[in-house]
Amino acid sequence: LTNCSQTYPSGSSNSQLSGTLNNGLLAYYPFNGNANDESGNGNDGTNNGATLTTDRNGNSNSAYNFDGNDDYIYFDGFNTQSNLTMSLWFNPATNLTVPVNQTCIATFSNWTGNPNSSGYSDFIGNATPHGYSSNNIFAYSEINAGGASVVNTNTSFNQNTWYHIVYKRDGTTKTQIVYVDGVLHDSISYSGNLNVNMTLNRLFIGGASWLPSAPWYNLLFSGTIDDVSIYDRALSNLEIYQLYSN
């Protein structure tokens, strides 16, 4: 693993994404028959039980279904930065109108669970391992095992319905923003500095855990996830809308 992002000229199409949406791309998982990273960075996921299914456009074997019991996709060695954008499509199997303890995606950087660790974690879901929960999807970031901050969508998510969600962390302005279907829903400021020289980095899709290839089973997602893209930069509002409308 090279742990670096790609930069392409405007209008290039190394992946299914186009134009500037390829710039700063750490990983891209369109789930076209497998959990491979199509960004060119080689961050291929390891699938643990998730099954291929039909995507939101009716294409077979082009999204992954997670049963909420023991399915997840993970990658060890992932490298995130103080600037981060995570984007995905999801279709919940249950109404997310009450806290149901599910996580769509999570990253962990130098995280050991020790309150004195210098790592951080990012979640998109409606519950965290530390007990925070909501009746709608939120993005949650925890820095140095204590500096937690939450951006909330304040939106109900109905079962068997596709939604696009984006979480953006801007390390320059120290803001966190969450978008639903291309529209900004919440923005907050955070304090604390991120240590970007991380060595223990993990990505979970359909679940969450700082342990290597071992999820917290009370946080697994039930439903379908597709078109996951992760960037080492804060995308613009226009780019986020392009991800939604692409």
Task: Please give the average per-residue pLDDT across 9-18, as a whole number.
Answer: 52
Which of 204, 163, 241 lies closest to 80, judged by CA? 204
Helix (H) or strand (E) holding 164: strand 163-170
Residues 6 or more apart whose Cβ sits within 8 Å of residue 42: 1, 2
Phi-psi region of 144 (alpha: psi -120 to 50; beta: other; left: phi over 0): left
Residue 116 structure tokens:
């004195």
What sign does the dihedral 230-236-237-239 (CA atoms) show? negative
pLDDT at 9: 36
Q: For the segment 43-58, what is each residue's pLDDT rounded down to a tens digit?
A: 999 999 999 999 999 9
What sign does the dihedral 106-107-112-118 (CA atoms) show? negative
Residue 222 structure tokens:
């039930």
pLDDT at 210: 61
Answer whether residue 205 shows pLDDT above 50.
yes
pLDDT at 8: 39
Q: How confident is the model at residue 3 (pLDDT cuts 50, 70, 90)?
A: very low
Amino acid, single-letter form, for residue 201: N
Please state which of the ranges 177-181, 191-195, 234-238 shows the lowest mean pLDDT: 191-195
pLDDT at 223: 93
pLDDT at 10: 33
pLDDT at 139: 64
Q: How confident is the model at residue 197 (pLDDT cuts 50, 70, 90)?
A: very low
Looking at every residue in the chain, the average pLDDT score rounds to 78
Task: Please give the average per-residue pLDDT across 195-219, as a whole number.
Answer: 66
pLDDT at 103: 81
Task: Please give the average per-residue pLDDT across 5-13, as a whole number.
Answer: 39
Distance CA 112, CA 97 (A): 32
Task: Please give the average per-residue pLDDT across 65-90, as a whole number.
Answer: 86
Helix (H) or strand (E) holding 238: helix 237-245
Q: pLDDT: is 210 or 20 the higher one?
A: 20
Q: Is 174 exposed, middle or buried (0-12, 13-18, 19+ CB in 10 A)?
A: middle
Helical spans, DSSP H, in 82-157? none
Total residue count of the chain as it appears in this document:
246
Q: How confident is the model at residue 25 (pLDDT cuts 50, 70, 90)?
A: very high
Residue 71 φ/ψ, nearest 5 degrees: -95, 135
Amino acid, single-letter form, for residue 37: D
Distance CA 177, CA 130 (A): 21
Residue 178 structure tokens:
């969450």
Q: pLDDT: is 130 or 157 the higher one?
A: 157
pLDDT at 208: 77
Residue bearing tokens 């804060």: 234
